[in-house]
Structure 1
């Protein structure tokens, strides 16, 4: 077993969820110490790390990003390196993504880029959609702001090692939205003496399809949770909330969808004299691929003779890397994890070790392609 596979298994055994990734970051830091990067930035955006390898000549700065966090899900698979932490596991493959970037670090340690700089970013808190924002807002990010940023995600259901690409939008943007309505409780025999939010919540849910239809392009508004009052049969509810996940393939459409839902909630609250409070959780920007960055990656795929397919539509799930794509030229692609591999976030999922070498080779070739084009 090589060092990267061993590292991946160790990371798998010791998962840490979003915001808790200190031991994971320390393991990555320990791995990179003998590689002697030119600069190291610790605690970037929280527990994040950035390792900088400088080229021999001036040139472009390329950033390659992976994720530190695991999921709060109990693992039900049975690898020899099973999670040792109850209720937490690497069921999205971030352990494998980290191993790939560590492998790229090994290559850069042996051969610095011909020109420019390469930044290897280990981003915290991806699963909750908070990490990219924290990294980008950290003042030290200006030291590593890239000309191009790259990331991959393993994708079960596609042949092992196959590259899945898409021009323009690769994955949807999304946000969690909870709308709280506050009225006044009353006796259930006299609901007219109170202000029950159930009718406003019902009307809002029934209006969602119409709101979606009036926005051109794909968008979704999925009801995920409703809460009204309490289980007290003599009481008419005075409090209620509805939680939605809103998503779209275009950032402007996502923002318009949010606006329209907000406006409808305000209208319904005013009509029934209810107080309104709206909160947002787990917000992910649309992942949009830059044409120049795409060209570098596509040349690398071609050089390596990899099987490449272009997805007909963007993926409906969201990735925190989308925020990078909104702030600098970026490229996100998929790496097939096998047609029979359990889906991401399933309790039996496990990242295929065979993908580590493929991911390293792709990223290494992208660096070489940019250096050649830059010359």
Structure 2
């Protein structure tokens, strides 16, 4: 199928974005495209709206998995492509539309020439942006049918030259988790705050103390205060409830877990000293994306054969990717593909995936398949 058809598919996906957990029509569009290529097996409703397509070789061999993401973002698009999002407040501003189409292009290559041995699984994962999709996929009973020997994924990267491959040994992207600390005291009249228990002092103390707990962890960690709430706008009332929300990041999974423990213990201590009830809610949990050395060797061999420019990044990216959870369950490799030095950054309202990357991504993934599966 000509490249123009893949570009047309991306533009169609871009016009009709669906956010995490709502990717029903997106999955149907992908199913309609790949079903015509006659994969050997199709698994639907994997981890929710997820899809897996299996292409089998003639002989036994390794099973490779290539992952793309189905979901868009709940952000209003301000760019003006001819295929701009038709849905207000929803847009493909991270490039998942492009990632999906690259995997669809790989499906075309596999349909034209099946692997000699083993199996290739093309996985379309829901809810990447919220850190929920990978967990749902891995916990789905049907995942046993596609448990791979190696898993691969790419992410386009604005700020790097178009088509440049960005690689990292070991950790590629940070793990992160959102934490909301809910505090309950006692509401009272503002004229008699001593008759109540106001969480204000505890919240103020936590804002100062919790981010500094990174000093007790050996590698890079970061605690960012993202939201605080106290009582309501009632000038006659001293607040009895409040909350503080943080994002916790680390380049090492053990350090991320340790920092979570340090923060909850310190928050409990502060709450106790202020006579407050304290509860914790963790959301949007992303595991550290850690690259396997053997998977890296396979991928780098494909990069070299294609003559692609490569750059080794000095430190991991601080943002997180849900692919990290796959890296904890099997040997995995995540790499970046430059989308242009002047390309708007990911999640910016004016961002748009460069169509020029589609062919490059397909060639890389096909190169990996041919090196392993023939």
**What interval of TM-score do these two structures reach, taking the shorter chain for normalisation?**
over 0.9
Corresponding residue number in structure 1 for 2:99: 97
* Conserved? CA contact 2:69–2:99, under 8 Å: yes
Corresponding residue number in structure 1 for 2:183: 181
Corresponding residue number in structure 2 for 1:261: 263
Corresponding residue number in structure 1 for 2:307: 305
- Listed as ranges, the matches of 1:326-341 within 5 Å are 326-341=328-343
Count of equivalent residues: 372
Picking from 212, 215, 229, the partner of 1:213 is 215
* Conserved? CA contact 2:211–2:224, under 8 Å: no
Structure 1: stretches of 5+ with no match in the other structure: none
Q: In the alignment, does 2:79 pair up with 1:77?
A: yes
Picking from 268, 272, 275, the partner of 1:273 is 275
Corresponding residue number in structure 2 for 1:204: 206
Corresponding residue number in structure 1 for 2:132: 130
- Determine the C-alpha separation between the residues in 1 that align with 2:329 and 2:48: 20
- Determine the C-alpha separation between the residues in 2 that align with 1:86 and 1:269: 42
- Listed as ranges, the matches of 1:1-375 within 5 Å are 2-371=4-373
Large movers: runs of 4+ above 6 Å: none
- Per-residue deviation, residues 66-95 of structure 1 (Å, max 9, x unmatched): 000001111111111111111111000000
- Per-residue deviation, residues 10-39 of structure 1 (Å, max 9, x unmatched): 000100000100000000000012100000
Shift of 1:295: 0.3
* Conserved? CA contact 2:53–2:122, under 8 Å: yes
Shift of 1:209: 3.8
* Conserved? CA contact 2:210–2:266, under 8 Å: no
- Determine the C-alpha separation between the residues in 2 that align with 1:338 and 1:85: 26
- Determine the C-alpha separation between the residues in 1 that align with 2:79 and 2:154: 24
Shift of 1:371: 3.0
- Per-residue deviation, residues 87-115 of structure 1 (Å, max 9, x unmatched): 11100000000000000000000111111
- Per-residue deviation, residues 193-242 of structure 1 (Å, max 9, x unmatched): 11111111111111124311011100000000000011111211100000
- Per-residue deviation, residues 335-354 of structure 1 (Å, max 9, x unmatched): 00000000001111000000
Aligned CA RMSD, in angstroms, stands at 0.8
Q: Which moved more, 1:195-204 or 1:18-27?
A: 195-204
- Determine the C-alpha separation between the residues in 2 that align with 1:118 and 1:240: 50
TM-score (norm 2): 0.98
- Determine the C-alpha separation between the residues in 1 that align with 2:342 and 2:209: 39
State the SS of the aligned residue for 1:2.
helix
